[in-house]
Structure 1
Amino acid sequence: MSNLTPDQERIVQRISNSFVRQAFVNTIGAELGDVDRGLVDIHLPRNRSLDQQYGFVHGGVLTALADAAAGYAALTVSSADKGVLTTELKVNFLRPASGDKLLAKGRVLKPGRTLSICTGDVFDIQDGVEKHVLTSLVTMMHVDGQTD
């Protein structure tokens, strides 16, 4: 028996359905984690083919994870007849990522009908220890015609 409310079940189903159709996150091997209104986690096991030349996870991968997590967090507060698209993304790299896996956490700071302000944070996990490697501020636009 599920402990989720009907609203939470609808949100989880919507995000799950969209996530399996997003080619990029599937190509890099990302996995959907916890989902709730305004919050989404995405996990990525370490894949050396996503590293840059110095052996760290490429910054583009970290940025994409933050963007995806923030976008899906925004989608949890979007009306059923709208999708979301990134309109602005500001990233700060805090340290190189080289652990066993990555965790991206998306969170809605300020939901809106047209724009939602979100954060996307990425953590590097090595031997169970999380290190914050990227923080971002993301503006998402709720758009017609992009329903999930």
Structure 2
Amino acid sequence: MPRAPEPGFEDRVRESFARQRLMETLGARLVRVEAGEVDVELDVRDEVGQQHGFVHAGALASILDSAAGFAAYTLMPADAGVLSVEFKVNLLAPARGEVIVARGRVVRAGRTISVVTADAFGVEGGRETHVATFTGTMMTIQGRPGVAG
């Protein structure tokens, strides 16, 4: 089990997510925050689509990165910031439905580096289709001006 979160972690995650302009532009919502776990939802709309009518891979990668990164952030010190170091996304099926949900999870929370995963599902009529999977590495940043929260 990952380390225990510091008090107030959910408020810190929600506040930081709200400052992400790309998530705002995409219309993504932070829907669940637990220790080591975060879910982000994205409504399927033309504005996040590609030429064949599916959700664009860039939009998928963005919500997966945010879900995984904020999952890592839930277990970081209160004065820390989180930055992606690297990630890989596998697209498994065309991303479509009413909404896409990205579920980020911490595999291992280290002092400086955390390993994370996330999975994206297209949801239509209550039925989920696994559309993408993500693995990544997130870094805990402390003591760097402008990189907190």
What TM bracket, shorter-length normalisation? over 0.9
Q: Structure 1 pair 27/89, CA: closer, same or farther in 2 (3 Å)?
A: same
Question: How far off its partner does 1:9 sit?
Answer: 6.3
> Structure 1 CA distance, aligned partners of 2:121 and 2:54?
13
Instruction: Show the counterpart of 1:143.
Output: 141
Instruction: Show the counterpart of 2:31.
Output: 33
Question: How far off its partner does 1:46 sit?
Answer: 1.3
Contact 1:8–1:36 (CA<8 Å) still a contact in 2?
A: no
Q: What whole-Å deviation, never above 9, does each CA across 1:55-74 have from its counterpart, x for those lacking one?
A: 10000111111100000001
Instruction: Show the counterpart of 2:58.
Output: 60
Within a 5 Å distance, the mapping from 1:81-100 to structure 2 comes to 81-100=79-98
Q: Structure 1 pair 38/11, CA: closer, same or farther in 2 (3 Å)?
A: same
Larger helix percent = 1
Q: What whole-Å deviation, never above 9, does each CA across 1:80-132 have from its counterpart, x for those lacking one?
A: 12111011101111000110101000000000011000001111001110111
Q: Structure 1 pair 9/87, CA: closer, same or farther in 2 (3 Å)?
A: same
TM-score (norm 2): 0.92
Within a 5 Å distance, the mapping from 1:44-59 to structure 2 comes to 44-59=42-57
> Structure 2 CA distance, aligned partners of 1:143 and 1:8?
16
Q: What whole-Å deviation, never above 9, does each CA across 1:30-72 have from its counterpart, x for those lacking one?
A: 1111101100001111121111101100001111111000000
Instruction: Show the counterpart of 1:128.
Output: 126
RMSD value, Cα: 1.2
Instruction: Show the counterpart of 2:105.
Output: 107
SS at match of 1:131: strand
Q: Structure 1 pair 33/9, CA: closer, same or farther in 2 (3 Å)?
A: farther
> Structure 2 CA distance, aligned partners of 1:65 and 1:83?
18
List structure 1 segments (4+ residues) > 3 angstroms apart after TM superposition.
none
**% identical aligned pairs:** 43
